[in-house]
Amino acid sequence: MIDKNSEQYLKFEELWEGKTPKGVNINKKNSFRSRMKNSCHQEGLEFSKLNSFLVYSGLSKKLDDDTIIKNDIKVSNPPRRHLRNF
């Protein structure tokens, strides 16, 4: 699970909401979410807040190649069968 009190998660949360010292900046929020969406698609993950955090924190690199995260659950596809020559 994700430690929601960690420094890294709190920084991610600020970027996700677009919080700045002067208030909320919608352009920064949209820009960050767009970058996370592109990164998730490059990693082969669905775009969500959880998957975006995994990409942001680098935890997505620790997953297997066939692992997909859906709703906070890691789903691994079984390995493909090789075609047999008869």
- Condensed to tens digits (0 to 9), the pLDDT of residues 10-62 reads 999 999 999 999 999 999 999 999 999 998 888 878 888 888 898 898 877 76
Q: How do the domains of the chain map onto residue ranges? A: 7-75
| pTM reported for the whole predicted model | 0.69
**CA distances (Å), origin 69, targets 15, 17, 55, 81:** 22, 22, 12, 23
Q: Is the pLDDT of residue 83 over 60?
A: no
Any residues with CB less than 8 A from the CB of 45 and at least 6 apart, and which?
51, 54, 55, 60, 68, 69
**What's the pLDDT band for 86 if we cut at 50, 70, 90?**
very low
Question: What are 81's two structure tokens?
Answer: 């069968």
Query: Looking at per-residue confidence, does 75 or 2 come out higher?
Result: 2
